Amino acid sequence: MGSAFEQLAGKKLLQFSDATVAASQFNWLVMADPVNRVMILGDAAIPTKQEIHRHAEAVVATFLAAFLHPDKR
């Protein structure tokens, strides 16, 4: 994912100091809440497709708020 983010930075779509760190942060934004809920609450906390979609949209919005290239804002 770091390589993909580097390519996007090369196209001036994203801006960050370290693609590997940005990729890790994106990964944890995606995984943290759903995984933690299931680990704590079990199968009853497995998100629905609609919840996953909403979560993904929120993750992308958060990530882009931090890393979208200033020229694209």
Per-residue pLDDT reduced to its tens digit, 29-44: 999 999 999 999 999 9
- Rounded CA-CA distance 49/62 in Å is 20
- pLDDT tens string 11-68: 999 999 999 999 999 999 999 999 999 999 999 999 999 999 999 999 999 999 999 9
Q: What is the pLDDT of residue 65?
A: 97
Domain ranges of the chain: 2-72
Confidence bin at 5 (pLDDT 50/70/90): very high
| Distance (Å, whole) CA 44 – CA 36 | 12
What pLDDT score was predicted for residue 47?
95
